[in-house]
Structure 1
Amino acid sequence: MILTADQIRARVDADWPQILGVVEDRIALRPISAHGINGEHMRKSAEYVANKLREVGVDAKAVQARDKDGNPSAWEVIGSLEVNPNAPTVLLYAHHDVQPVPDEKEWDTAPFEATLKGDRLYGRGACDDAGGIAIHYGALRALGDQLGVNIKVFIEGEEEMGSASFIPFIEAHHDEFDSDVIIVADSGNWAPDVPSLTTSLRGNATCDVHVKVLGHPVHSGQYGGPVLDANTLASMLIAKMYDEKGELAIPGLMEGEPIGGLQRDLDEADMRAAAGVVDSFTLVGTGSLASRLWTKPSATVIGFDAHPVKDSFNVISPETTFRVSLRVAPQQDPHVAMDAMVDFFEKNAPFGAEVHVEPLEAGMGWAMNPDCEATQDALTSLKEAFGIDPVNKGEGGSIPFIPELQKIFPDAQVLVTGPEDPISNAHSPNESVSVSGLRKDVVAEALLLDKLGRA
Structure 2
Amino acid sequence: MTVSIPLPNADQIRSHVANQREQIFTNLSELVSFNSVHGEPTLADQAAGAADWVADALETVGLKVQQITTTDGSTTVLGTRTGAPGSPTVLLYSHYDVVPAGERVNWISDPFTLTERDGRWYGRGAADCKGNLAMHLAALRAVNDAGAQPDLNITVLVEGSEERGGEGLDRLIQERPELFAADAILIADTGNAAVGTPTLTTTLRGGAQATVTVDTLRTPVHSGMFGGAAPDAAAALIRLLDSLRDEHGRTVIDGVDTSARWDGEPYDAATFRSDAGVLDGVELVGDATDSPADFVWARPAVTVTGFTSTPVAEAVNAVPATASAKLNLRVAPGMSAAETAAKLAAHLKAHTPWGARVEVTIDDVNEAFRADLTNPALALLGGALATAYGTSEFTTVGSGGSIPLCTALQEAQPSAEIALFGVEEPQTTIHSPNESVDPSEIIHIATAEALFLLNYGAQN
Give TM-score scaled by structure 1 length.
0.91
Q: Which residue of 2 aligns with 1:397?
A: 401
Counterpart contact for 1:79–1:176, Cα < 8 Å: no
Instruction: Provide the rounded CA distance (Å) in 1 between the counterparts of 2:431 and 2:337.
Output: 25
Whether 2:58 is the aligned partner of 1:57: answer no
Whether 2:349 is the aligned partner of 1:346: answer yes
Q: Which residue of 1 aligns with 2:149?
A: 146
Counterpart contact for 1:250–1:344, Cα < 8 Å: yes
Counterpart contact for 2:120–2:436, Cα < 8 Å: yes
Residue 194 of structure 1 and its aligned partner are, at CA, apart by 0.9
Paired residue type of 2:449? E
Counterpart contact for 1:91–1:177, Cα < 8 Å: yes
Paired residue type of 1:133? L
Match among 341, 347, 369 for residue 372 of structure 2: 369
Give the 5 Å matches for 1:195-210. 195-210=198-213
Residues 371-413 of structure 1, C-alpha deviations (whole Å, 9 max, x = no match) = 2111111111111111232221222121222212212211111
Give TM-score scaled by structure 2 length.
0.90
Residue 65 of structure 1 and its aligned partner are, at CA, apart by 2.1
Instruction: Provide the rounded CA distance (Å) in 2 between the counterparts of 1:160 and 1:167.
Output: 13
Compared with structure 1, are the counterparts of its residues 365 and 353 closer, same or farther at alpha carbon in structure 2 (3 Å cutoff)? same
Matched residue of 2:80: which SS? strand
Q: Which residue of 2 aligns with 1:137?
A: 137
Mean Cα deviation higher: 352-361 or 74-83: 352-361
Residues 49-96 of structure 1, C-alpha deviations (whole Å, 9 max, x = no match) = 2222222221123232233xxxxx112210211112222111110011
Instruction: Provide the rounded CA distance (Å) in 1 between the counterparts of 2:437 and 2:179.
Output: 30
Instruction: Provide the rounded CA distance (Å) in 2 between the counterparts of 1:107 and 1:130.
Output: 18
Give the 5 Å matches for 1:98-137. 98-137=98-137
Instruction: Provide the rounded CA distance (Å) in 1 between the counterparts of 2:177 and 2:418.
Output: 17
Whether 2:79 is the aligned partner of 1:75: answer no
Residue 99 of structure 1 and its aligned partner are, at CA, apart by 2.6
Matched residue of 1:165: which SS? helix
Instruction: Provide the rounded CA distance (Å) in 1 between the counterparts of 2:167 and 2:83.
Output: 33
Whether 2:248 is the aligned partner of 1:245: answer yes
Counterpart contact for 1:80–1:176, Cα < 8 Å: no
Paired residue type of 2:451? L
Whether 2:343 is the aligned partner of 1:331: answer no
Residue 226 of structure 1 and its aligned partner are, at CA, apart by 4.0
Instruction: Provide the rounded CA distance (Å) in 2 between the counterparts of 1:393 and 1:37.
Output: 38
Whether 2:43 is the aligned partner of 1:42: answer no
Residues 223-243 of structure 1, C-alpha deviations (whole Å, 9 max, x = no match) = 444443111121111111111
Instruction: Provide the rounded CA distance (Å) in 2 between the counterparts of 1:115 and 1:53.
Output: 24
Residue 98 of structure 1 and its aligned partner are, at CA, apart by 2.1
Residues 4-42 of structure 1, C-alpha deviations (whole Å, 9 max, x = no match) = 311221222344433343212212334333544993332
Counterpart contact for 2:36–2:43, Cα < 8 Å: no
Instruction: Provide the rounded CA distance (Å) in 2 between the counterparts of 1:31 and 1:223.
Output: 50
Compared with structure 1, are the counterparts of its residues 10 and 315 closer, same or farther at alpha carbon in structure 2 (3 Å cutoff)? closer
Give the 5 Å matches for 1:407-426. 407-426=411-430
Paired residue type of 1:444? A
Residue 355 of structure 1 and its aligned partner are, at CA, apart by 2.5
Residue 105 of structure 1 and its aligned partner are, at CA, apart by 2.7
Compared with structure 1, are the counterparts of its residues 50 and 308 closer, same or farther at alpha carbon in structure 2 (3 Å cutoff)? closer
Match among 436, 439, 443 for residue 440 of structure 2: 436
Compared with structure 1, are the counterparts of its residues 338 and 9 closer, same or farther at alpha carbon in structure 2 (3 Å cutoff)? same
Mean Cα deviation higher: 14-23 or 128-137: 14-23
Paired residue type of 1:276? G
Compared with structure 1, are the counterparts of its residues 242 and 29 closer, same or farther at alpha carbon in structure 2 (3 Å cutoff)? closer
Paired residue type of 1:28? S
Residues 254-292 of structure 1, C-alpha deviations (whole Å, 9 max, x = no match) = 55444xx422x2232333234332323221125321121
Compared with structure 1, are the counterparts of its residues 397 and 2 closer, same or farther at alpha carbon in structure 2 (3 Å cutoff)? closer
Counterpart contact for 1:205–1:337, Cα < 8 Å: no
Residues 339-395 of structure 1, C-alpha deviations (whole Å, 9 max, x = no match) = 101111111222332323222321212111122111111111111111232221222
Q: Which residue of 1 aligns with 2:325?
A: 322
Residue 322 of structure 1 and its aligned partner are, at CA, apart by 2.0
Instruction: Provide the rounded CA distance (Å) in 2 between the counterparts of 1:414 and 1:254.
Output: 28
Q: Which residue of 1 aligns with 2:31?
A: 26
Instruction: Provide the rounded CA distance (Å) in 2 between the counterparts of 1:173 and 1:239.
Output: 45
Counterpart contact for 1:147–1:453, Cα < 8 Å: yes
Matched residue of 1:97: which SS? coil
Paired residue type of 2:23? Q
Matched residue of 2:427: which SS? coil
Matched residue of 1:127: which SS? coil
Paired residue type of 2:192? N
Instruction: Provide the rounded CA distance (Å) in 1 between the counterparts of 2:409 and 2:308.
Output: 36
Residue 188 of structure 1 and its aligned partner are, at CA, apart by 1.1
Matched residue of 1:146: which SS? coil
Matched residue of 2:395: which SS? coil
Paired residue type of 1:166? L
